[in-house]
Amino acid sequence: MENKNYLEELNWLDGFWIDTTTFSSMSTPKKPFEHWKWHEDSIVGRGGTIIELDTSVTENIIIKQIDSSLIYIVRVKGKSMLSYNMEYNQADSISFENKAHDFPSKISYKKQSKTLLNYLQGVSYEMERKLKFSYVKVDV
């Protein structure tokens, strides 16, 4: 029996996504972004921030299928690579988890109309935290 291709179900992640609201109240607003490119064998992403005219890529991400599950692998600039196993996958949302990592220990994406919600959850400074990004897709 052949494994189901879960990557095909994530084509809604493809594109350039930017959040103009989460940090808009800062004196110099920073705009987090994620840029995803869907490939047949993986989904490759980059994340970072845009501050005025300066774009900074802070993480490289890949989602790959291993057997009948997906794995989310991220390398944050200056840090070791981390992997997260798929916790659940539905038509418009996906969640990955790495219980051994403090923050984030859980990374979730949910597609709502023209918005991509991204949640980072875990323990930071000995407190349970949840960070939410609201991305909108932009043409580049």
pLDDT tens digits, one per residue of 88-106: 998 899 999 999 999 999 9
DSSP 140: -
For residue 17, the enclosing domain spans 6-138
Q: Tokens in use for 102?
A: 């403090």
Q: Is the pLDDT assigned to residue 125 strictly greater than 90?
A: no
Longest dimension (CA), the chain: 56
Q: Let me know if residue 96 belongs to a domain.
A: yes
What type of residue is 35?
A: H
Prediction pTM value: 0.92
Read off the CATH number of the domain in which 20 is found: 2.40.128.20
pLDDT tens digits, one per residue of 4-32: 888 988 999 999 999 999 898 989 889 99
**Cis peptide upstream of residue 104 (ω within 30 degrees of 0):** yes
